[in-house]
Amino acid sequence: MKARKISKSFPGVRALNEVDLEVCAGKVTAVVGENGAGKTTLMNILSGVYTEYDGELLLDGQKVSFQDTTDARRVGISIIHQELQLVPYMSIAENIFLGREPLKLGLIDYKTMQEKARLLLRKLGCDADVRKKISSLRIGQQQIVEIAKALSFDVRVLIMDEPTSALSESEINTLFVLIHSLKAKGIAIVYITHKMDELTLIADHVTVLRDGCAVGHSPVHKITIAEVVKLMVGRDIKDFFVKKQHDKGDVRLKIENLSLKKSGKSGAFLETISFKVHASEVLGLYGLMGAGRTELFETIFGLHRTPAAGTVFIDGKRVRINSPEDAVKAGMALIPEDRKNDSLVLNMSIARNISLASIGKVIRNGVVSKTLEQKQAEVYREKLNIKSYSSNQPVIKLSGGNQQKVVVSKWLVTDPKILLLDEPTRGIDVNAKNEIYKLIDELALQGMAIVVVSSELPEIMAISDRIITLCGGRLTDEFTRSEFTEEKILKAALPSS
Ligand SMILES: Nc1ncnc2c1ncn2[C@@H]1O[C@H](COP(=O)(O)OP(=O)(O)OP(=O)(O)O)[C@@H](O)[C@H]1O
Ligand SMILES: [Mg+2]
């Protein structure tokens, strides 16, 4: 499939400017670029989501245009969306076969549908109950359902928009094995990612977008990662993150014997967890998916209604946290992993989303001051380079990574004593990641106590002073910075067999 001179504008921004892209049968073409470079927009055009654009699409040398996504699927083009588009109150099986349910005597044949869904999931190494509602699944599992759905069509060109951003290591490995088998069947794959190591692992060709223009194409073996990053950013990145030395202060947060029976979403539980975080310290929390990382944060933050056992001390004083409001009052902030459902009001502006969790700061004489709100937004728009035409732009019109930057800003504004970050850089480009690392370091330097969950070992090792590992709802080990090695940490996080 070929895209020729594709251009697309939105009010205030030229998202794509005469972009060419070629994808070949049996090959993986990676598309990379900074947040807001135009990757998702281009994929939306290839897959029939957007029908108005300039330029042309060619399939087997023939010009094609699509009325909608169904039209594109008919000729074999299927997309795995970056922002998942599943129906929350429907089951896994219903979502996969939405609008084309197998019928028997004119009625939906649930048995066949569920069986087919089960088979598809199994290929992806997932044995979830296909009758479960999407809303009861964690984001990583939802991602797998989205992938299964795309595979359930007869595909010739499969577009994957950041498929691994919410997956665990083992799920990623299963996906890569699957991609190899799809390649062997002659399927062309377009693969978007911010994880540069995935280029060498999975891609044959790479196309780099910058500010809506294609600035480079190359076979992967003929280009280095450094060259790709340079093309993406438009300059050499020299100011890579280097952690500063800082002395830790007094114990700020102390958790004692925290236990949680079972959480609705993943069935995970927590067993007598105890740890401390000091002021000016960054504590990394590493564990595989399902280890209970998110549950631990949620429990500390008062998000689980089932009473959890255990005690929480802040600055030496015992505090009771039964709701997120209590947590915020006690000086905590939580940046959650699922930005779309937990964090953003999509049709509100960037400025309002940023002020939402600390609205008191921008209230003057009893009303929200738009001027103050915008001033505050401008600071973060610049600091994190949130690509947008103004701070009044609704968040829904931002690219995925830029939405994540708004979430991060929103919680930083609350100026918490204790900051809990759950996968803070998911979907964020290489350059902006560095900015976030620097910001975390700066905040710690100013005295904040920070706990970070990340599935990326190099990331957590770069930013943490200390790392604790979690496995099956229990803390398994602890490492100081001088003890960090990938092997040790990974070993401590794996279930012992
Ligand atoms: N519906 C929309 N309305 C207005 N502007 C939009 C819309 N969708 C995208 N944009 C803008 O178009 C540009 C390209 O966005 P796009 O989502 O394609 O980026 P991306 O490369 O996928 O980024 P990311 O890595 O963050 O996902 C951005 O400036 C974005 O704000
Ligand atoms: Mg995108």
Pick the ligand that lies closest to the CA of residue 37: 1
Query: What is the per-residue pLDDT for 241?
Result: 83
Q: Is residue 244 part of a domain?
A: no
Same domain? For 199 and 295 the reply is no
Q: Is the pTM of this model over 0.75?
A: yes
Band (238; pLDDT cuts 50, 70, 90)? low
Q: Please give the Cα distance from 458 to 479 (Å, whole number).
A: 15
Q: Whose CA is nearest to atom 12 of ligand 1?
A: 15
Task: Give the structural domain span for 450.
Answer: 251-493
Write the residue with the smallest CA distance to atom 29 of ligand 1: 36
Let me know if residue 223 belongs to a domain.
yes
Does 91 lie in the same domain as 63?
Answer: yes
- In this structure, the answer to whether residues 210 and 279 fall within a common structural domain is no
Look at 87-96, 162-171, 184-193, 225-234 and tell me which has the smallest mean pLDDT.
162-171
Residue 436, domain member (yes or no): yes
Regarding whether 484 and 374 lie in a shared domain, the answer is yes
Pairing of strands 270-278, 367-368: unpaired
**At which of 233, 264, 295 does a domain end?**
233
pLDDT tens, residue by residue, 17-35: 999 999 999 999 999 999 9
- Residues 348, 438, single domain; the answer is yes
Per-residue confidence (pLDDT) for residue 50, from 0 to 100: 96
497 pLDDT above the threshold of 90: no
Residue 289 has pLDDT above 80, yes or no: no
Q: Which two tokens stand for residue 241?
A: 């993150």
Ligand 2 centroid, distance to 84 Cα (angstroms): 12
Tell me whether residue 177 is in a domain.
yes
Q: What is the pLDDT of residue 464?
A: 96
Expressed in percent and rounded to 5, the helix, strand and coil fractions of the chain are 35, 25, 35
- Output the CA 399–ligand 1 centroid distance in Å: 4
In a domain, 303, yes or no: yes
Helix (H, G, I), strand (E, B) or coil at 326: helix
Per residue in 42-86, pLDDT tens?
999 999 999 999 999 999 999 999 999 999 999 999 999 987 789
Q: Same domain, yes or no, for 191 and 290?
A: no
Q: Are 398 and 344 part of one and the same domain?
A: yes
Q: Are residues 220 and 258 in the same domain?
A: no
Residues 229 and 263 both lie in one domain = no
Same domain, 89 and 152: yes
Residues 203, 293, single domain; the answer is: no
Ligand 2 center to 432 CA (angstroms) = 14
Highest mean pLDDT among 226-235, 298-307, 346-355 belongs to 346-355
Q: What is the CATH number of the domain that holds 170?
A: 3.40.50.300
Residues 140 and 267 in one domain: no
Closest atom of ligand 1 to 41 CA is 18
User: Rounded to 5 degrees, what angle do the CA atoms 204, 208, 213 make?
Assistant: 145
DSSP H or E segment with residue 433: helix 430-445
> What's the pLDDT tens digit per position in 258-276?
988 765 555 568 888 999 9
Number of domains in the chain: 2
Looking at ligand 1, which residue's alpha carbon is closest to its atom 24? 35
Domain termination site, one of 183, 207, 233 = 233
Atom of ligand 1 nearest to the CA of 16: 14
Q: What percent of the chain has pLDDT over 70?
A: 96
